[in-house]
Structure 1
Amino acid sequence: MRLDGVSYRYGRAGRWILREVSVDLPPGATIVVLGRNGAGKSTLLQLAAGVLKPSRGVVSERPRPVGWVPERFPADQPFTVDGYLTSMARLHGVGDPAAAVDTWVERLGLTPYRGTRLAELSKGTAQKVGLAQALAPDPKLLVLDEPWEGLDAAARDLVPGIVAEIVERGGIVLVSDHRGETGRLPGAITWTVAEGTVAQGAAADEEGTAIIEIAVAAGAAAQTAAALREAGHDVVGVRAAAPKATV
Structure 2
Amino acid sequence: MRLESVAFRYRRKAPWVLRDVGLTLAPGTVTEVTGHNGAGKSTLLRLIAGLRDPRRGTVTGRPGRVGYAPERFPVDQPFTVRAYLGHMAAVRGVPADLDRWAGRLGFEHLLGVRLPELSKGSAQKVGLAQALLGDPGLLILDEPFAGLDAATRDALPALISDRAAHGATVVVSDHQGCIESLPGVTRISVADGMVAVLEEPPAPAERTVLEVIVRADEADTVETKLRADGHEVRRRTL
Same fold (TM over 0.5): yes
Q: C-alpha displacement at 1:58, in angstroms?
A: 0.9
* Matched-pair identity in %: 50
In structure 2, C-alpha distance between the alignment counterparts of 1:215 and 1:128, rounded to whole Å: 29
Letter in 2 for 1:41: K
Aligned to 2:62: 62
What residue is the counterpart of 1:183 in the other structure?
A: 180
Look up the match of 2:128.
131
Q: Does 1:164 align with 2:161?
A: yes
Q: Which runs of 5+ in 2 are unaligned?
A: 212-229
In 2, Cα distance between equivalents of 1:51 and 1:215: 36
Residue aligned with 1:164, SS: helix
**Alpha carbons 1:145, 1:176 under 8 Å: kept:** yes
- Tell me the CA shift for residue 91 of structure 1: 1.5
Q: Tell me the alpha carbon deviations over residues 163-217 of structure 1, each in whole angstroms, 9 at most, x when there is no partner.
A: 111111111110011112232433210000011000102476xxxx9x9896758
Letter in 2 for 1:150: G
Instruction: Describe the shift of the 1:115–1:191 C-alpha distance in structure 2 as closer, same or farther (beyond 3 A).
Output: same
Letter in 1 for 2:29: A
- Residues 63-212 of structure 1: pairs in structure 2 closer than 5 A: 63-94=63-94, 96-97=95-96, 100-202=97-199
Deviation digits for residues 70-125 of structure 1, max 9, x if unmatched? 0000010001100000111111211x33xx12211121111111111101110110
Aligned alpha-carbon RMSD (Å) = 2.5
In the alignment, the residues of structure 1 paired with residue 204 and residue 108 of structure 2 have an alpha-carbon distance, to the nearest angstrom, of 40
Alpha-carbon distance in 2 for matches of 1:18, 1:104: 34
Which shifted more, 46-55 or 178-187?
Answer: 178-187
Aligned to 1:231: none
> Which TM-score applies when normalising by structure 1?
0.81
Q: Distance in 2 between matches of 1:22 and 1:140?
A: 21
Evaluate the alpha carbon distance shift between residue 213 and residue 77 of structure 1 in structure 2; reply closer, same or farther with a 3 A threshold: closer
CA distance in 2, matches of 1:31, 1:215: 25
- 2:215: which partner in 1? none
- Output the CA distance in 1 between the equivalents of 2:209 and 2:124: 34
Could you tell me how far apart the structure 2 residues matched to 1:172 and 1:165 are? Answer: 11
Aligned to 1:229: none
The AA in structure 2 aligned to 1:113 is: L
Question: Unpaired runs of 5+ in structure 1?
Answer: 220-234, 240-247
Describe the SS at the equivalent of 1:20: strand
Map 1:37-48; keep pairs closer than 5 Å: 37-48=37-48
Q: Secondary structure of 1:38's match?
A: coil
What amino acid maps onto 2:10 in structure 1?
Y
**What amino acid is aligned across from residue 54 of structure 1 in structure 2?**
P
Equivalents in 2 of 1:19, 1:115: separation in Å?
A: 45
| TM-score, normalising length: structure 2 | 0.84
Answer yes or no: is the 8 Å Cα contact 1:181–1:236 preserved in 2: no
- Counterpart in 1 of 2:53? 53
| CA–CA separation in structure 1 for the residues paired with 2:64 and 2:174 | 24
Q: Describe how 1:29-40 pairs up with structure 2 within 5 A.
A: 29-40=29-40
Structure showing greater radius of gyration is 1
CA contact (8 A) 1:89 1:101 kept: no
